[in-house]
Structure 1
Amino acid sequence: MKVIGAGFGRTGTASLKQALEILGYGPCYHMSEVIAQPHRVRQWLDVGEGRSAGWDTIFAGYASTLDWPAAAYWRELAEHYPDAKVVLTVRDAERWYDSVSATIFASALAERRPLPPHRRIVRKLVALRAPDFALYPRMARATVMDRVFDGRIDDRAHVLKVFERHITEVTSAIPPERLLVLDVREGWEPLCAFLGEPVPDVPFPEANERATFRRKRPRRLLRLIIKGR
């Protein structure tokens, strides 16, 4: 493990994942890996519910990690991988909240409401065909929604306070020489200088995480139902 991402989801982590892989710090572990490989859901559920924290098993084969759920365990990971550098992705707090509330939080809050009949059918099919992925809502609560936000993801003021406090905690705990606070709009220069890498002759990646989130989940559920994996 060479790079640990401490930034919350929806702070440009998808763009940074691509950037790190271009620089040779891949493969990069991201929530997208958990969604694509449902057995990882159960691994993180074990972590979130206190049964296991086998970091070397979880991250086997990966050179970097970003996004939730790993970012919720940045302290533990920074301690376990003392030679890894830490990147804290940041963005304007209000814009971040608008993004996360329209995607991750919207899905989590929907899980709290009674499901309409067609959603109940989909849920049952997923549970039968892909039992690991069916644990995703429980895993997300254990590792992110409850652990990071005390379950109060519908409280804007509280969520913004957590966001700002998180930045303070990371910058206070990680030595400056080991930490890069990065707004991905800054592009290659600060990241490459921090990692000691030459600037690539390609544009810095710009991944539209909100659009990807909206497309990916329905397609993934359909694929799981059809293929059972």
Structure 2
Amino acid sequence: MGHAASKPDPNAKFRVIGAGLSRTATTSFGAALSELLDGPCYHGGTQLLCSEETVIKRWIEVFRKTPISNEEDKQFVHKEIKSLMDGFVGCTDLPGNACVEELLEIYPDSIVICTVRDPEKWWESIRPIVENANFTILSWILMPVPRFRWFRTYHDALDNGNFGVAHFMPGEEKKPSRKTWDRHIEYLKKVVPKDRLFFYDVRDGWEPLCQMLNVPVPKDKPFPKLNDAVAVDGIMKAGVRQGMMTWAGIGVTAAAGIYTGLRVAKIL
């Protein structure tokens, strides 16, 4: 996690579906799961943007077949998700929190833990991104950058698939809002059996999480404190810088080519 994708461990057993929304300390939660369950955790943003390009393209195809409407699509979605998640002890953030129902079926012994915080503060932290981000411009900037060039397509697939169905009303603009929080909690309570659904605030530390997982509390081990914004936003900013530098290089090359052509034609 952080600025590098976690590698699957063939001995790891998938046990926890981290269903918390972004900006609910999902990175810290993932690190805690890795410590307690002794295996890698699938932090969505990092895995998508730091793995080979085929990973994000596979998730796009998964969400394009959701909500699942027939047995053929179900078989495809379940097979792909299992292939992507096997080797991890759990997952956090998107895309995992948008396919909770599927993960419950694929891993019947797993539990769902939704990381939470004050909903108003959550919206304050994510609101500037929602209101100020220009995905059209961002898509153009990221077009030359592997993995990142699929970012807009991935989000469109989410919004038109499972995530959009659960979090946006018909005819409503497909953008997160303060209502997204309440709808997410309602969605989880609807699709997850009561005895498999837990809500957890990372500020409460090891004890309640260990109780949920039925594992010992680590001794003399501080609870991991990682920053969700730094973990993924830093990766995105690096992608934007790479995109801008690539476009600048393309511009210089094009200008040089035009200049040379004009000189050859004796126009300059």
The question of a shared fold, defined as TM-score above 0.5 by the shorter chain, is answered with yes
**Which secondary structure does the structure 1 equivalent of 2:198 belong to?**
strand
Return the offset for 1:165.
2.5
Which residue does the alignment assign to 1:134? 149
Are 1:180 and 2:198 counterparts? yes
Which residue does the alignment assign to 1:125? 144
Q: Bigger CA drift: 21-30 or 38-47? A: 21-30
Return the offset for 1:25.
4.8
**Which secondary structure does the structure 1 equivalent of 2:37 belong to?**
coil
Q: 1:223 to 1:25 in 2, by over 3 A?
A: farther
Is contact 2:142–2:240 with CA below 8 Å preserved after alignment? no
Aligned residues: 212
Q: 1:154 to 1:46 in 2, by over 3 A?
A: closer
Aligned-residue CA RMSD (Å):
2.6
Return the offset for 1:174.
2.5
Q: Which amino acid letter does the alignment assign opposite residue 152 of structure 2?
A: P
Q: How does 1:1-229 map to 2 (within 5 A)?
A: 1-31=14-44, 32-37=46-51, 38-50=53-65, 52-53=76-77, 54-103=80-129, 105=130, 109-112=133-136, 115=137, 120=140, 122-126=141-145, 130=146, 132-144=147-159, 146-150=164-168, 152=173, 154=175, 159-201=177-219, 202-222=221-241
Q: 1:214 to 1:172 in 2, by over 3 A?
A: closer
Q: 1:135 to 1:25 in 2, by over 3 A?
A: same
Q: Bigger CA drift: 191-200 or 20-29? A: 20-29
Q: Which amino acid letter does the alignment assign opposite residue 99 of structure 2?
A: Y
TM-score normalised over the length of structure 1: 0.81
Return the offset for 1:57.
1.1
Is contact 2:166–2:183 with CA below 8 Å preserved after alignment? no
Return the offset for 1:221.
4.8
> How far apart, in 2, do the equivalents of 1:147 and 1:221 lie?
30
Q: Which amino acid letter does the alignment assign opposite residue 210 of structure 1?
A: A
Instruction: Give percent identity, aligned residues only.
Output: 30
Q: 1:76 to 1:154 in 2, by over 3 A?
A: closer
> How far apart, in 2, do the equivalents of 1:48 and 1:123 lie?
21
Q: 1:165 to 1:177 in 2, by over 3 A?
A: same
Q: 1:204 to 1:80 in 2, by over 3 A?
A: same
Return the offset for 1:45.
0.3
Which sections of structure 1, spanning at least 5 residues, go unmatched? none
